[in-house]
Amino acid sequence: MQKRILGKSGLEVSSLGLGCMGMSFSYGPPKDRQEMISLLRAAVERGVTFFDTAEVYGPFTNEELVGEALAPLRDKVVIATKFGFDTSVDPRAMKGGAPVLNSRPKHIKEVAEASLKRLKTEVIDLFYQHRVDPNVPIEDVAGAVKELIQEGKVKHFGLSEAGVQTIRRAHAVQPLTVLQSEYSLWTRTPEKEVIPTLEELGIGLVPYSPLGKGFLTGKIDEKVTFDSSDFRSSLPRFTPEALKANQALIHLLGSIAEKKNATPAQIALAWLLAQKPWIVPIPGTTKLHRLEENIGAVTVELTANDLRDIDTATSQISVQGARYPEKLEKMTGL
């Protein structure tokens, strides 16, 4: 597995990370714990060194899973987790509503202590604010993380789904290593303002949902039904009408995949990797064969002509459906 550097701080990770949320939360019922521990360790064996979790996933159970699985391999991996939600409010109440935010400095420090225990580690490699809290100045948030870094409890600071002004203000207090935002062939919003700002400031980008929450694998069409515990059942972009309309993107990926002897998912990931050398996608999976398929994307080469053809073709495709319900959409890009 090739390596990439995130940000000016020199954080080196595998070119692809692993998003761990779906193992415990959000994509249907939690998966078998021992199977997921085996999968996490198999990822390390195959060269993955970057693992993404958060206290709200479960809540808490995903951090516990990641902590147990990676404790024997701790010196080989980079673990990212997140703060910013009030986990005393059941996250299952998020469906149809908005989760409760809490990025007060005292709370951030409490979350850090609890996450360290669940992750069975002495230091959090990368600590993200999960969503911008409009009730707490970002300077106070950055200051709290700066203190945690000075205390040796955190190594790197990140934001998730933040807008450019928030990024600049946070970065002035405690340099950001990474921004995590949704970015893929069907969510290209960061290209307009965010990516140029990250390039200017020397901040890495970690795209979550790089496979469009499974859609870009080509395995989801309008006939699919989602369990009520699968949050895609509440997403406008996953209504049967939107899924049918958006198949044009899958046809495009499929045609390129055929020429490259690859899969649509591998083309989607290779496209992201080709955008900037400081982009590290974190596709999530609960299956070993999917993990291996995703890792295979690192060896797929897209030429300048390929990238130009993809851009030309995608410019003709209008993606249907908002990516989140309105209340959740309002929490992004702040």
Would you please indicate which residues are annotated as catalytic (active-site) residues? 57
DSSP 188: -
H/E stretch holding 326: helix 326-329
Contact of 179 with 207, CB cutoff 8 Å: no
Contact of 307 with 233, CB cutoff 8 Å: no
Residue 254 amino acid letter: G
Q: Which of 276, 274, 334, 283 is nearest to 304 (CA)?
A: 274
Q: Collapse the DSSP code of 132 into the 3-class scheme (helix H, G, I; strand E, B; otherwise coil) and give the result.
A: coil
243 CB-near residues (< 8 Å, 6+ apart) = 215, 220, 221, 222, 224, 237
For residue 129, the cross-strand partners are 83, 159
Q: Which residue has the tokens 């990641």?
A: 66
Strand order in the sheet with 50-52: 18-19, 50-52, 78-83, 124-129, 154-160, 178-182, 204-208
Max CA separation in the chain (angstroms): 54
Positive or negative, the CA dihedral 18, 21, 23, 27 is negative
